[in-house]
Structure 1
Amino acid sequence: MSTTFFKEKSKAVVILEDGTVFFGKAIGNLNYSLGEICFNTGMTGYQEIFTDPSYFGQIMVTTNAHIGNYGINLDESESDSIQISGLVCKNFSLNNSRVNSNSSLQTFLEQDKLQGISDVDTRALVRHIRKHGAMNAIIGNLELGIDLLKEKLSNHPKMKGLELASKVSTSSIYHLGESNSGPKIAVLDLGCKTNILKHLLKRNSQLTVFPYNASLDEILNIQPDAIFVSNGPGDPQPLKDVTQLVKSLLDKDMPLFGICLGHQILAQALGISTYKMHNGHRGINHPVKNLITGKSEITSQNHGFAIDKEQTEANQDVEVTHLHLNDQTIAGIRLKNRKAFSVQYHPEAGPGPNDATYLFDDFIQMVK
C-alpha cells in the first residue's frame, strides 16, 4: 500500500460553470480535472459508481459523508477501470474495515490516477446543483490559481450534444457464455456494465458483445435470437448511426431489450425525442411504478437525459410500462407490435436493490 499518496493534503477547490466556488483538500497529487458535476445519493456502492461507464466524463459528488471506509473488492467493479473524471466527497477514509476487501480505496484511486477533493461542504454543493441544475465544473489544486482554472473550465465542452459512447465501448467483438447453452444474444455495447452481462449469463445466454459502431450485417451474421442495447454515457442525440441500427433491427422483428442509454436509443428509433434533465436521477432508492402490474419498486438509477413524455404517450405503437414516482418521467416502455421493451433505470443494480431483476427473466422468456 502506498504511504505517500495521502502524505500531505494541499488546498484544493471546486469551481462551477456559474462561478460558484467550494474549497477543500486535495485527494492525492491533484492537478486539475474537468467534467460535468453530478451527485449520487447512494449510501453504499461507491466502487460500482466510480467504475460505471455511464459516468464517463462526469465529476462525481458523493452525498454519503464517508467514502472509502469499506475499501475495494475487485469482483464488484462495473468495468476494468475507474470511469469518473473526478471525485468530490466530505470525509475520505484512509483505512478500510471490510473483511473481504482487496485493497483500500486510496490504493484503487492511485492505480488509475483519479484526482479528487475531500473536506468539501457536499451538502451545500448538492443543494446548489439541485437548484441550478447540472453544469460543468473543475476540481483543481488551489496553487494553480482561480483564474487559470476558470479559463480551463470555460473551454470544456458541455454534456448536451456530447457523444461519449465511443470512449467506453469495446473496440472489438468478443464472446461470453457456453456454446448452445441458451438464447444467442447480441449485446450492443454503449458502455455496458459488467453486472448486466453477469445477469444475462446467469440465465444461460450466449453473448456476443459488439462495439457501438457495429454494422447491421455484422450483427445479423451471428444469427442472434435477440438484441440487448446497453447503458452508456453522454447525449443520445448524436448517436444517429446507433439509432438507425436499432431501427433496422426492429424492422427485422428482432426481440430487443434496452437499459438506460439503450432505452433512449430505442425511443429515438421510434421517433421519440430525448432531452437533458435539470440534474438527472442518480442513486439507489428511486421509486418506480410498474403500470402493468400496479406494483412499485425501488430502483438504481443513473441518467442525465430522458425521453419526451408527451411524444411517448402520443405514439400509438408504444405503451408506457413504468413511471418514476418522484417526477412522473417515463421509466419504461414496450412496443405493442414488436417484441421490444426498455427501462430508464438499472435492473441489474450494482449498486442498489434487486426489485427489478425480473426484467431479465422477462427478456429471456420473450426470446424463448
Structure 2
Amino acid sequence: MTTPFPFSAIVGQDQMKLAMVLTAIDPGIGGVLVFGDRGTGKSTAVRALASLLPPMTVVRGCPVNSERPEDCPDWANVADTTPEQRPTPVVDLPLGVTEDRVTGALDIERALTQGEKAFEPGLLARANRGYLYIDEVNLLEDHIVDLLLDVAQSGVNAVEREGLSIRHAARFVLVGSGNPEEGELRPQLLDRFGLSVEVTTPGAIDDRIEVIRRRSAFETETRAFLDHWQAEDAKLRDRIVAARTALRDVATTEDILRDCAELSIALGTDGLRGELTLLRAARALAAHDNAAAITRDQLRAIAPLALGHRLRRDPLDEAGSTARVTRAVADVLG
C-alpha cells in the first residue's frame, strides 16, 4: 500500500485544509468541493486525509461499518459483533464506474455456486460513516450523479432489482475535486457540497521552493520525513477529537443567527441551505478554536467556503464569487 503524503506537510492551501478539517469535526456540514488548477495538491490532500482522521468503532463483521450490533442490516447476517477500531474509510469513486459497483448488486458467484440470492455491497456500503472521494467530479456521468443525489438526501442506499430489496445506511462526506476548464458541475450536485474551495498554483517563489523541498524529502528521506510530519498530524488529530467533544457546548447567540440570515439575503442565495451550512461550519470552527461561542470572526472565515458556490450568476458583476462574498461580509459584519 502506498504511503500517503502527510496532511500537515502540504504547503499552503489553507482554505482547502480547513474545509477538510471542519468536515472531520462535524461530518454533518456536508461535502467539500475543491476546484482549481492541475497539480495544486487536491488529490494529495484527500489521500492524506485518510491517515489524519481519527479511527472509529465498528462491528467487526458488518459490511457497512455500523457502530452497534443493532445497526447492522439484517441481510448481512453478521455473526461476529465484536467491536473494533478501524481507520475512517476514504473510498474512491472512479469515473466510468457502473451503478452496480456503486450501490451493490446480486452476488453472482454465490448465486451460481450455491444457488443463494445474496447481496454484494458496493462502494456506498464501504463509505458509510466515512468519505466518498470523486476526482474530476465534473466529468461524472449524469445517472451516477442522480444516484448520489438521492442517497445524499436520504442517507440510505436502496437497491430494488434482480429480485433484491435491500436497504442500508449510507451517510458519508462527499469530497470532489476537479478542473473548471473541463466543465462545470450540475447545480443540483454543486448545492450538495457544504463547502467549496478554489485552489490556485502558488505564486510566491518561497512557497514553490518549499513544495519541491518537501516532496523531494518525502521521496528520498521517507522515514525521517514521515516521523516528523506524522507527529504533526497526530497533534491535529487530537485537536479534531477535542473539537468533536466541545462541539455540542458551543453557544450560538441571536445576533449570530441574524448575521447568517443577513449575509445570505445580501448575496441572494437560493434556499436556506447556505445559512444552515454557514452556521454549522462556524460552530465547528469555534470548537476547533476552543471558543465558547460562535463569533463574527468565525463567520468571516467560513462565509466564502459556505456561500461562494451558492451565488446566482450576475452578468453585471465581473467579480468572482469569493470577491462578492468578501464584499457582503464587509457590508453586513463590518
Report the TM-score when normalising by structure 2. Answer: 0.28
More strand by share: 1
Q: Which has the higher contact order (CA 8 A, sep 6+)?
A: 2
More helix by share: 2
